[in-house]
Amino acid sequence: MNQKSILVVASHPDDEVIGCGGTIAMHTAAGDQVAVIFMTNGESSRGEAVSANITSRNKDCEEALKVLGIKNVMKFDYPDNMMDQVPLLDVTKSIEIAIDKFKPSIIYTHFSEDLNVDHRITHQAVITACRPQSWSPVKSIFLFEVLSATEWNSNSKSKFNPNKFVDISDFWSTKLLALNKYSKELRPFPHSRNIKTIEALSIYRGATVGLNQAEAFQVERIIE
């Protein structure tokens, strides 16, 4: 078996499951090495009871990653919803540390035009850290969509335009289990960060390419 090394770069704990939880489950089932890094704790901008919330979200995250079969995790502590306040160079260097450690050939990360500022900065830092130099292990970069961030971007920006589809029909139940670990991050329907909407999107993305359920990605780069 040709084992691959995969790195998921997410701004907040829950982005990895919403964006590519089924694809992560597919990779781990195939025996690939998957690492996930988080750039913020996802809580510090929310005001009340911050440290208790961070602890609780870390626990949810740990459980969700266990469901997905992830053992390699790195967490950075950039300010939640304020990553535009820190030098891009610092964020880039953190991602370079993770690339150095995990030597991924494939990276999954955020779309460049998401409404959430942390997602945009994370995207920019990944692209900067993955300058296509001969020594870089990174050969492919795929961008995932996160409901309530990707579809809420400004109409003046380019829209998420997927051109890679991963069949997650066999992995939806695993994604659902992982999503439920983040139940505090989910909102009542018709908010788009909701199980019903996330499932509907997977059915829609699948049906557009003749599959039952899919996760869709925009290809940033493939080097072969």
By CB under 5 A, name the binding residues for Zn ion: 11-12, 15
CA distances from 187 to 6, 93, 160, 180, 198 (A): 30, 34, 22, 12, 11
**Are 205 and 215 in contact, with CB atoms under 8 Å apart?**
yes
Nearest to Zn ion by Cβ — which residue? Answer: 12
Q: Which is nearer to Zn ion, 32 or 43 (CB)?
A: 43
Q: How far is the CB of 123 from Zn ion (least distance, A)?
A: 11
**Smallest gap, in angstroms, from Cβ of residue 15 to Zn ion?**
4
d(CA 141, CA 199): 24
In this complex, which beta carbon is closest to Zn ion, that of residue 171 or of residue 182? 182
Q: Shortest Cβ distance from residue 142 to Zn ion (Å)?
A: 17
Q: Closer to Zn ion at the Cβ: 13 or 22?
A: 13
Q: Are 113 and 158 in contact (CB under 8 A)?
A: yes
* Omega of the bond leading into 104 within 30 degrees of 0 (cis): no
Spell 126-162 as b/e; 16+ CB within 10 A means b: bbebbeeeeebebbbbbbbbbbbbbeebeeeeeebeb
5 vs 141, beta carbon nearer Zn ion: 141
The answer to whether the CB of 70 falls within 8 A of the CB of 110 is no
Q: How far is the CB of 159 from Zn ion (least distance, A)?
A: 18
Q: Closest separation between CB of residue 19 and Zn ion, Å? A: 9
**CB nearer to Zn ion: pick between 120 and 205:** 120
